[in-house]
């Protein structure tokens, strides 16, 4: 394992990944804390083979989560594939903000692995939720995660281009859409750019189009006083806030992630839009 760690390091990849990949090579019953003891014995040939394959995949820059097929997010382990974004720690800022107030009907637009919808439903046992995605493959992963993590009866998964196929009203709408601008894609690390689904990373153009569409369409599916919450890129707070304001949302707030970068925009639908329209 040390030699493999050195090969990773020489390629500019974290040496510690070798340990995670070795635990994976042993199979799901090998707890990471027992690894050192197990490595004192000779490696079974099939384990050595699986480990070598995993190291080769990592050297080709495939993310660890895709190689082992899982990623820890909030309180659970989510299945991850090449069709889903690898859930990011900064997205937990959105989870924390959403849990500041109760909700009963939740909509998650662009659900990927389902990590946002499922984490929120698990934390709010009385709530029901709908997760949407344009990718049928991602929706299948989300559905499977929902079953494995026990929210199945409370979650519904639908294929939709943002809100196009959504029906009904919700008191909380959340989304972590693709937000990387087209001209920023080349600067991403190869682990992300070459392996994660393009649909999950960038909508093209200035990266803001999904926010424009959702700010335009979400109000029709929010209860009066309902919350709309977006994850954003750190430079997008002003543009996204302006878009929400232009569509009548109020009490717009920005929340930073643990690194202090703007990460979540939160806004409310006014309590009585009818009164406002009547003037």
Applying CB under 6 A, which residues contact ligand SAM?
85, 87, 91, 110-113, 115-116, 132-135, 138, 161-162, 176-178, 199-200
Instruction: Find the shortest distance in angstroms from Cβ 55 to ligand SAM.
Output: 26
Instruction: Find the shortest distance in angstroms from Cβ 121 to ligand SAM.
Output: 14
Q: Which residue has the tokens 């997008």?
A: 236
Calculate the alpha carbon distances from 67 to 2, 4, 82 in Å: 19, 16, 9
Choice between 112 and 219, CB closer to ligand SAM: 112
Choice between 27 and 89, CB closer to ligand SAM: 89
Collapsing DSSP states into helix, strand and coil, what is residue 168? coil
| Residue 49 neighbours by CB under 8 Å, 6+ apart | none
Choice between 44 and 89, CB closer to ligand SAM: 89
Instruction: Find the shortest distance in angstroms from Cβ 247 to ligand SAM.
Output: 18
Q: How far apart are CA 255 and CA 268, in angstroms?
A: 14
Collapsing DSSP states into helix, strand and coil, what is residue 254? strand
Conformation bin of residue 14: beta by default, left when phi > 0, alpha when psi is -120 to 50: beta
Instruction: Find the shortest distance in angstroms from Cβ 235 to ligand SAM.
Output: 16
Q: Which helix (H) or strand (E) holds 58?
A: helix 45-59
Choice between 116 and 237, CB closer to ligand SAM: 116
Instruction: Find the shortest distance in angstroms from Cβ 88 to ligand SAM.
Output: 7
Choice between 4 and 127, CB closer to ligand SAM: 127
The answer to whether 21 and 64 are in contact (CB under 8 A) is yes
- Signed CA dihedral, 132, 257, 191, 62: sign only: negative
Instruction: Find the shortest distance in angstroms from Cβ 129 to ligand SAM.
Output: 12
Choice between 26 and 162, CB closer to ligand SAM: 162
């Amino acid at each position: 394992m040390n030699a493999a760690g050195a090969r990773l390091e020489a390629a500019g990849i974290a040496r510690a990944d070798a340990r995670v990949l070795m635990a994976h090579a042993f199979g799901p019953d090998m707890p990471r804390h027992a690894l050192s003891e197990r490595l004192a014995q000779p490696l079974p040939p099939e384990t050595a083979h699986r480990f070598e394959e995993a190291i080769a995949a990592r050297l080709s820059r495939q993310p660890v989560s895709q190689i082992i097929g899982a990623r820890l997010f909030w309180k659970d382990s989510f299945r991850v594939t090449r069709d889903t974004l690898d859930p990011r720690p900064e997205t937990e800022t959105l989870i924390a903000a959403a849990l500041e107030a109760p909700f009963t009907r939740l909509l998650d637009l662009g659900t990927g692995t389902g990590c946002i919808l499922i984490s929120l439903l698990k934390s709010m046992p009385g709530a029901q939720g709908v997760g949407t995605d344009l990718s049928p493959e991602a929706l299948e992963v989300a559905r499977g995660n929902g079953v494995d993590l026990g929210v199945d009866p409370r979650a519904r998964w639908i294929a939709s281009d943002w809100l196009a196929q959504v029906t009904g009203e919700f008191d909380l709408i959340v989304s972590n859409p693709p937000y990387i601008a087209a001209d920023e894609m080349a600067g991403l690390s190869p682990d992300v750019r070459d392996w994660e689904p393009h649909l999950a990373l960038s909508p093209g153009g200035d990266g803001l189009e999904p926010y424009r569409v959702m700010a335009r369409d979400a109000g029709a599916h929010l209860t009066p006083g309902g919350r709309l919450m977006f994850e954003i890129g750190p430079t997008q707070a002003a543009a996204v806030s302006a878009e929400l304001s232009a569509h009548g949302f109020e009490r717009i707030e920005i929340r930073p992630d643990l690194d202090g970068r703007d990460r979540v925009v939160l806004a409310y639908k006014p309590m009585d839009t009818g009164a406002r329209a009547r003037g």
